[in-house]
Structure 1
Amino acid sequence: MTERDVFLPVAAQPSVDALVEQARLGEELGYDTAWLPETWGRDAVTTLTSIAHGTEDIDIGTSIMPVYSRSPALIGQTAATLQEVADGRFRLGLGPSGPIVIENWHGVDFGNPLRRTRETVDVVKQVLSGEPVDYDGEYFDLEGFRLRCDPPDPVPSVETAGMGPKAVELAGRFADGWHALMLTRDGLRDRLEDFERGSEMGDRDRSEQRVTLSLTCCALEDAEEAKQLVKQHSAFYVGGMGTYYRDNLARQGHEEVAHEIHDKWQGGDKQAAIAALPDDLLEQLAVWGTPEEAREHFERFTDVDGIEAVSVSFPRGADLDQIESTVRALAP
């Protein structure tokens, strides 16, 4: 049975307490995991610590924590500590983010994101084992590091996000799971083949790996309002967040639309960019409508073979009431 997660809002929230309350609501409604992104607002570690103390049963995790903003050893220490704080409920989701965020905001050369992600996963897993870390990589050379506390038990999973074929294959080879984003059903199946191939190349036990699809959702009594929130969110990512989301959409057979949205957004005509995203394509990428319509539409994504969990995500423009309406409408 496909698990159902909740992806706490990527947009700024009024307070840490608001995020804790959203995680509590997810727990109350039976969601399996509460994922928290780390972008350019509140840091994930402090916030997840508060969420861990404010919840009892729901798993918590990062989706995603950038691999460029902390050293791999520190990420390993952080994962071990959060696993302790959360009493074994923590999952670590990692990813490279993109050059706009990493170079412009963190001041770090983006370099080779696939190699850096792989090396980070390798080092983090060594740290979490509790054994001395000896690693000779292209980006990181470590010798003698070892946790001064007991290693976490159980060891938290280390999962990665990725959109391109090589990134997804890498997740299959070296990570405990893959976080998928902004994929149509057909595009998702193509990337699942990449993940399965990577799992075989890495001689991994696929039954112990987890694929999580993050799905933008909005369920309101006013279906048109819900659609506009989802459409603006999707166009923003394709048009305003560098070229990764644009290329991801183009790779799935929608090259003309992807480039039109990107070019119009970059040219300053955001309304034209939003209008360039056709409703039939939006239906393949997101869920919206009345609560009844949204529940029916959501099920189209839970029956894809190879997905272990679907995460209910929210448009960046959604307010607290709209988020709660969606969480309740799509609850397990």
Structure 2
Amino acid sequence: MTRLGMTVPFDNVPLGEQRDRFVELEDAGYTDLWSAEAMGADAFTPLALASVWTPSMRLGTAIVPAFTRGPALLAQSVGALAQAAPGRFTLGLGTSSDVIVERWNGIDFDRPYYQVRDMVRFLRASLTGDKVSAEVNGTSIKGFRLGVVPSEPVPIHIAALREGMLALAGREADGVILNWLAASDVPTVTKIVHDAAEGAGRPDPQNVEVVARLFVAVTEDRDTVMALGRHAIAAYLNVPVYRAFHEWLGRGEQLGEMWRLWGEGDRKAALEAILDSVVDELIIWGSAGTCREHLDAYVDAGVTTPVVALLPFGYDERAAARALAAAG
């Protein structure tokens, strides 16, 4: 495994007090720090701190929603962070979900494919420092010129679940970001990415980077993993975009009863309906050595950059991060 990322920041620790945790990751051999954006810290602030705290590490967002910032503001955020960490920042952009976009931000989750496609094209143009006029999902942007131009090109990765976005990543992005999938699912999704890259005439279709955010619990307490893992899976896979993803992957029969009961409002029964085998497929757990073997299975299947997201299942997460790195 040539790259290994960690999801930051860590929960339940004030952001300004996480420097030692970030530095430990760098010292342990992690190559990447990737932030997310839901209801905690925004995606850019932890990476701005990391640009100073961990000067050797690559920094990435997995992901920034394409809807929740205007095009000019998003370009400013990208340009500023790219200047703070020259050559070390990768923008991961995606649709996010209707929950985050509509319910929490009051923005219409309208034509998400076009929002991502047009935002990627706008950012590509604006990050050169040229004056840009463009259409982003039906909205006109007129005469914007970015004042913080990166010294090096910023790679843009697209978060993708199903065929349309996967193919868009292959045609127009530097990489694809995957989430909530089993190692056995990786060839299904990466084939679409690589085929689209080849169809677009890209010089080396296999070089589209594949980043996967993988949920890890470094514990051998099976009962805890099964109980808490069901909660984590239900929280995500009942969101419409993730339900559609797993139906497409062929888990309709395995997850159908959970979806039915959840829709009827019987949350307890819905959790009980999630099979142990689904938890084992979607959550990496066990000793540090076992977890690294499972991470390696994703790499063997086609992931180029696994990014660990530690699940808070009652173990020492700081020690677990070190043990994971040492087990490689």
Once residues 259 and 19 of structure 1 are traced to their aligned partners in structure 2, the CA distance between those partners, rounded to angstroms, is 41
Given the superposition, is the C-alpha separation of residues 185 and 221 from structure 1 closer, same or farther in structure 2, using an over 3 Å criterion?
closer
Given the superposition, is the C-alpha separation of residues 118 and 99 from structure 1 closer, same or farther in structure 2, using an over 3 Å criterion?
same
After superposition, residues 164-313 of structure 1 pair within 5 angstroms as 164-205=162-203, 206=205, 208-220=207-219, 222-239=221-238, 242-305=239-302, 307-313=303-309
Once residues 290 and 148 of structure 1 are traced to their aligned partners in structure 2, the CA distance between those partners, rounded to angstroms, is 48
Residue pair 1:161, 1:178 contacting (<8 A) in 2 also: yes
The percent of aligned pairs where both chains have the same amino acid is 28
Residue pair 1:171, 1:178 contacting (<8 A) in 2 also: yes
Q: What are the superposed Cα offsets for residues 262-307 of structure 1, whole Å, 9 maximum, x if unpaired?
A: 33334444343333222223222221012232233332222113x2
| Counterpart for residue 158 of structure 1 | 156
Q: What are the superposed Cα offsets for residues 116-139 of structure 1, whole Å, 9 maximum, x if unpaired?
A: 100000001111112221324542
Given the superposition, is the C-alpha separation of residues 137 and 96 from structure 1 closer, same or farther in structure 2, using an over 3 Å criterion?
closer
Once residues 219 and 229 of structure 1 are traced to their aligned partners in structure 2, the CA distance between those partners, rounded to angstroms, is 13
| Counterpart for residue 327 of structure 1 | 321
Residue pair 1:223, 1:290 contacting (<8 A) in 2 also: no
| Counterpart for residue 42 of structure 2 | 43
Query: What TM-score do you get using the length of structure 2 for normalisation?
Result: 0.90
Given the superposition, is the C-alpha separation of residues 261 and 2 from structure 1 closer, same or farther in structure 2, using an over 3 Å criterion?
farther
Given the superposition, is the C-alpha separation of residues 139 and 263 from structure 1 closer, same or farther in structure 2, using an over 3 Å criterion?
same
Once residues 309 and 160 of structure 1 are traced to their aligned partners in structure 2, the CA distance between those partners, rounded to angstroms, is 14
Once residues 279 and 18 of structure 1 are traced to their aligned partners in structure 2, the CA distance between those partners, rounded to angstroms, is 37
Given the superposition, is the C-alpha separation of residues 221 and 126 from structure 1 closer, same or farther in structure 2, using an over 3 Å criterion?
same
Aligned residues: 325
Once residues 223 and 326 of structure 1 are traced to their aligned partners in structure 2, the CA distance between those partners, rounded to angstroms, is 16
Once residues 29 and 221 of structure 2 are traced to their aligned partners in structure 1, the CA distance between those partners, rounded to angstroms, is 25
Once residues 224 and 119 of structure 1 are traced to their aligned partners in structure 2, the CA distance between those partners, rounded to angstroms, is 45
Once residues 229 and 107 of structure 1 are traced to their aligned partners in structure 2, the CA distance between those partners, rounded to angstroms, is 30
Residue pair 1:218, 1:230 contacting (<8 A) in 2 also: no
Once residues 110 and 171 of structure 1 are traced to their aligned partners in structure 2, the CA distance between those partners, rounded to angstroms, is 20
- RMSD of the TM alignment (CA)? 2.2
Q: Secondary structure at the match of 1:3?
A: coil
Once residues 230 and 326 of structure 1 are traced to their aligned partners in structure 2, the CA distance between those partners, rounded to angstroms, is 17
Given the superposition, is the C-alpha separation of residues 208 and 297 from structure 1 closer, same or farther in structure 2, using an over 3 Å criterion?
closer
Larger displacement relative to structure 2 (175-184 or 226-235): 226-235
Given the superposition, is the C-alpha separation of residues 217 and 163 from structure 1 closer, same or farther in structure 2, using an over 3 Å criterion?
same
Once residues 216 and 106 of structure 1 are traced to their aligned partners in structure 2, the CA distance between those partners, rounded to angstroms, is 26
Query: What TM-score do you get using the length of structure 1 for normalisation?
Result: 0.89
| Counterpart for residue 55 of structure 1 | 54
Q: What are the superposed Cα offsets for residues 57-77 of structure 1, whole Å, 9 maximum, x if unpaired?
A: 111111100111111222112
Shift of 1:238: 1.2
Once residues 97 and 303 of structure 1 are traced to their aligned partners in structure 2, the CA distance between those partners, rounded to angstroms, is 27
Residue pair 1:214, 1:313 contacting (<8 A) in 2 also: yes
Given the superposition, is the C-alpha separation of residues 209 and 256 from structure 1 closer, same or farther in structure 2, using an over 3 Å criterion?
same
Q: What are the superposed Cα offsets for residues 138-184 of structure 1, whole Å, 9 maximum, x if unpaired?
A: 423233221234x2122221111011111111111111110011122
